[in-house]
Chain A
Amino acid sequence: MQEWEARQAIQISKLFGSYFAAVDSNDAQRAGNLFAEDGALISEVMKRSCYGRSSIIAFLHELRSGWTDITIRISPPNVTFENEREANSECYFTVYGPQGLDHWATYHDQFVRQGGTWLFKERRIVLLGASPLSRVGAGRAVN
């Protein structure tokens, strides 16, 4: 990792922090604004693909307004840079609910730097496992 990459990785860490603060407080608008205008959120966990910021905001609102008692914990992301304006990462995460561990999965992210700010260009969520009582396992996460 070169010095410029380390400096930009700090900015991408900030993006991660902002995303989870917004999502876990059910603020879909704030979370959605962390995506590029033409960004994508592809959730293989929820079997939904959203293209464009407004579609992402609508999905996050639908998802988290009906599922408010969960929180997300992430493992540090493995960030690699294509250039000074494009980067990728993979990041594991666990989701906990009132009954404990709910499910665990991977974020596969593409980032784009626009106007000096890093945004999600694409976030793809791939499920690794779920507890037997999880809504994810039962396919009832979004209704």
Chain B
Amino acid sequence: MEDWEILARVMIGSLHTRYVAAIDGKPPEAFAEVFTPTGVLASGITGKEVSGADLRTYIGDVRATRHEEAWKSIRHFITPANISFTDRDHADTQCYFTAMSAVGVDHWGMYSDQVECQDGEWLIARRSISLLGATPGGWVHTGSVILAKN
């Protein structure tokens, strides 16, 4: 493995943890900062595809659906990513996540990403979120998470 690829893998890993920090507690505006200016989020959990300025309000909308107290502290535990480079500035990644509420596992799924290096910074060009399972009675299983369709 060449030196550039080692560094890129570390930076992409850091991008993934910045995404988690943004959705788990940072101000909603921080969420848009991990995407490219034309970046897209397609969530199979909320049923929404958002991009551009809508990314700045998306997380606030998602958090507003957490009606139960146990859902308000949901945290996303991720696995290390499988990273495949198209070239030095583009890669495809996949990683699993487990969303934990205050009472246990709420749901679990996969992030499938297209990431790009722009001006030395790796950002998400497209993130697709797939739901793999959900605990009965939880935030996702009850359908509380579904946002209005586009």
Contact = CB atoms under 8 A, between A and B. Distances in A.
Contact of B77 (A6, A75, A90): A75
Interface string B1-34: 0000011001101101110110000000000000
Interface residues of A, number: 21
Contact of A101 (B7, B10, B104, B122): B104
Interface of B: 6-7, 10-11, 13-14, 16-18, 20-21, 73, 75-80, 100-105, 120-122
Nearest to B120: A2
10 contacts: A75-B79, A78-B21, A79-B14, A92-B75, A94-B77, A101-B105, A104-B100, A128-B100, A129-B103, A129-B104
Nearest to A2: B120
A76 B21 contact: no
Given A94-B77, A128-B102, A129-B102, A1 B121 contact: yes
Interface string A1-20: 11100110110000000000
A3 B4 CA distance: 9
Nearest to A77: B17
Interface of A: 1-3, 6-7, 9-10, 75-79, 90, 92, 94, 101, 104, 106, 128-129, 131
A1 B77 contact: no
B75 A128 contact: yes
Could you say which of A7, A94, A128 has the most chain B C-beta atoms within 10 Å of its C-beta? A128
B100 A9 contact: no
A6 B14 contact: yes
